[in-house]
Amino acid sequence: MCGIPAGSAEAMVGRLLAAGHKVVVSEPPPEPGSRRLLNRLTPATLVDDAVLASGRPNSLAVALGAGQAIGLAWTDLSTGETGTLMASLEGCGPALARISPAELLVARWPEGSDALAVVARGQGAPFSDLAEEVPDEATSGKVLAATYSEGGREALQGFSPPERAALAALLRHVQSTTGRSRVRW
């Protein structure tokens, strides 16, 4: 916890995020006695053009271990681009390299394999466990239905349960962190 002069806050927050740290910015309460407004920022939730690296995606990814495979979902909040894929444990390295996330959250580690951990360490992007609970199939359906229009839900029907669960976990995390739930499909 530290204080930063308001005039240099943007640059300092940008440096902290670029170094992989999470930052919470507290603003004075709008009225005396009311709650302070908190703005939670992580390396991949930053959307300020002045701080983003030009020409490089700023993707937030969620990985979900499912047997001998990994369900991946990612979004770039600065553009709204979102996607999912399934990869084998052996193929999760190239899959994550293709996504090139600025931040990786692991919803569920694969049992009996350290392949995802090895790949995550080698990516160079910060990674951590997803704080929220992994949604079950019914909850995933509700989250996806609340986020996407009818056409978007129809397009998701061909996706595997791990992909849908990873996407729902990603959307819930984005909502809880940024207060936004709309992403482009």
User: For the chain, what are the domain ranges?
Assistant: 6-41, 59-178
HEC string of the chain equals: CCCCCHHHHHHHHHHHHHCCCCEEEEECCCCCCCCCEEEEECCCCCCCCCCCCCCCCCEEEEEEEECCEEEEEEEECCCCEEEEEEEECCCHHHHHHHHCCCEEEEEECCCCCCHHHHHHHHHCCCEEECCCCCCCHHHHHHHHHHHCCHHHHHHHCCCCHHHHHHHHHHHHHHHHHHCCCCCCC
Spell out the per-residue pLDDT of the chain, length 185, in tens: 677 777 777 777 777 776 767 777 777 777 888 877 777 777 666 656 555 555 667 788 999 999 999 999 998 887 888 889 999 998 989 999 888 888 898 998 988 888 888 888 888 777 888 877 887 877 777 777 777 766 556 667 778 889 988 988 888 888 877 765 555 44
Protein fold of 59-178: Nucleotidyltransferase; domain 5 (3.30.420)
